[in-house]
Amino acid sequence: MNDQVLIFDTTLRDGEQCPGASMNTREKLEVARQLARLKVDIIEAGFPIASDGDFEAVKAIATEIQGPCIAALARTSEKDIVRAGEAIAPAAKRRIHTFSSGSDIHLKTMLNVSREENIKRSVKAVQLARKYTMDVEYSAQDTTRSDRDYLVELYTACAEAGATTLNIPDTVGYAIPGEYGALIAYIVARVKVPGVIFSVHCHDDLGMAVANSLAAVQAGARQIECTINGLGERAGNTSLEEVVMALKMRPEIFGGLTTGIDTRQIYPASRLVSHLTGMVVQRNKAIVGDNAFAHESGIHQHGMLKNRANYEIMRAEDVGRTSELTWGKHMGNHAVRKKLEEMGYKLSDDEVRRITDQIKALADKKKNVYDEDVRAIVEGQFTEVQQIWKLADLTVVTGKQPTATVTIVGVGKKESISETGTGDGPIDAMLKTVDRITGTKGSLVDFNVGSVTKGKDAIGEVSVRVDFAGRIVTGKGTSTDIIEASALAYLNALNRHLDDQRRRTATEKPPL
């Protein structure tokens, strides 16, 4: 049996289904580039039939990204598979991932088909997918609530039809590790088609996605489907960073199985996905949380001073958590470009110039500029949208009656607009004033504040989710001033909303 576990990353497909975590094509490309640096084996780039935007994003990723196999999701319908095949066509390595269901509750109440008809449809879908690529994956949803012998029959038929990977998902996060491992072992032992790879895709509804995935590997699975930071629907998916590091740190438990992941790219990937989706990583999150390598207890600190191995089973450097004081206001564009390339960023000349200017401005404000400060600046470039409104100045006065004076400039307008307003607090006053100037009212749904690095002069990072007439939009902003970061995040969300409105209006067909 193969001694490597393939890592199938579905951050751009299943991860993006997390409410409020949607990304535009530029952002998806940046994540895909980072996944390629991380050296995942397969990138599930999206669900092309879902929308024209999803199709274009998958096609863009298939066109540019080299190294990983590019996969697209499709139901068992002909139009889904054709659309997926067209989207991944430019990729050197490509896969169609088609899916149906395995449980009776799904077949009866959702698909309205018999077990026999489900097998026929699934086989037909696999055969059609093979016309676009020889690499075809088949999944039956809800296997952990399905009849085992029916699953063996279904998976055997699909493998004989040409499926090269068979995925056995715990779609609803129902399984317990011992139970799930037994299910995987049962299917692996009875589906007798040579060369097939067995895969697992676990959800975290009971907090066991990682444990279940690892139990499946011990039972014979050789592909894990996962996401950066465990992002995904409901409680999320299997966390890539956790399964990868578990396999790396405990080879004796997993029979020496390895992955091809460059673990030094784990933390940069976590940071990027968190920034672009606005989904903040909890501080005590394993591997990538702020506290993962922090030691508060005196006993722990004493032990760490004697030997880091006393309380750390891995080094922060192993997952890319390094931060050196190498940035300053005297750096030029060429030096900044070289450093950014070392960090894995591919940027245009204009972007490098803008980032250099921002680094210099930041160096004037704070004593030390760290790698993480620069990452926050760079990631800000990925979230930029068409600038319809731009912040020019902001003054806030707190007290019994918080007041905000906001000055913003509209695109194509020479003069700025300034107004003063009040609110329940300084941020509320600022947001209401922005709404009044722009004539567009937004309702703040979620507001998250974090610091990029430590210290009194750390960059503040704000993520917001704003409701504009029923449409939830994410915005991000960074600054050493948290009120300014909040204003930038809100304006970023507003510009996204207005830009999307304009594009939708432009693509609407005139009435016949």
Q: Average pLDDT per run of 10 along the chain, which is 512 residues long?
A: 90 82 87 97 97 94 98 98 98 98 96 97 98 98 97 98 98 97 98 97 97 98 98 94 97 96 95 87 89 62 63 84 65 83 81 87 77 77 72 89 91 82 90 92 88 71 88 84 89 86 59 38
Rounded to 10 degrees, what is the CA torsion of 341, 345, 348, 353? -70
Which DSSP category does 227 fall into? B
Closest CA to 493 of 416, 441, 458, 422: 441
| Interatomic CA distance for residues 19 and 15, integer angstroms | 9
Which DSSP category does 109 fall into? I
| Interatomic CA distance for residues 115 and 101, integer angstroms | 10
| Interatomic CA distance for residues 73 and 42, integer angstroms | 12
Q: Where are the alpha helices (DSSP H) in 163-284?
A: 177-190, 209-218, 240-249, 266-277
Closest CA to 237 of 316, 289, 169: 169
Closest CA to 81 of 203, 169, 163: 163
pLDDT at 470: 85
**What radius of gyration do the chain's Cα atoms show?**
25
pLDDT at 251: 95
> Do the beta carbons of residue 466 and residue 497 sit within 8 Å?
yes
Q: Considering Cα of 244, then 245, then 247, then 248, what sign does the dihedral take? A: positive
pTM of the model: 0.76
How buried is 186 (Cβ within 10 angstroms: 0-12 exposed, 13-18 middle, 19+ buried)? Answer: middle
Distances (CA, A) of 253 to 46, 193, 218: 34, 28, 9
> Do the beta carbons of residue 371 and residue 323 sit within 8 Å?
yes
Closest CA to 35 of 65, 60, 73: 65
What per-residue string of b and e applies to 264-292 under the rule 16 or more CB within 10 Å gives b? bbbbbbbbbbbbbbbbbbeeebebbeeeb
Contacts of 80 (CB under 8 A, 6+ apart): 48, 49, 74, 98
> Do the beta carbons of residue 164 and residue 197 sit within 8 Å?
yes
Q: What angle do CA 67, 72, 74 make, to 5 degrees?
A: 160
> Do the beta carbons of residue 88 and residue 60 sit within 8 Å?
no
| Interatomic CA distance for residues 207 and 315, integer angstroms | 25
> Do the beta carbons of residue 7 and residue 41 sit within 8 Å?
yes
Please report how many Cα atoms fall inside a 13 Å half-sphere around the Cα of residue 232, on the Cβ side: 27
Q: What angle do CA 231, 138, 85 make, to 5 degrees?
A: 85
| Interatomic CA distance for residues 429 and 405, integer angstroms | 9
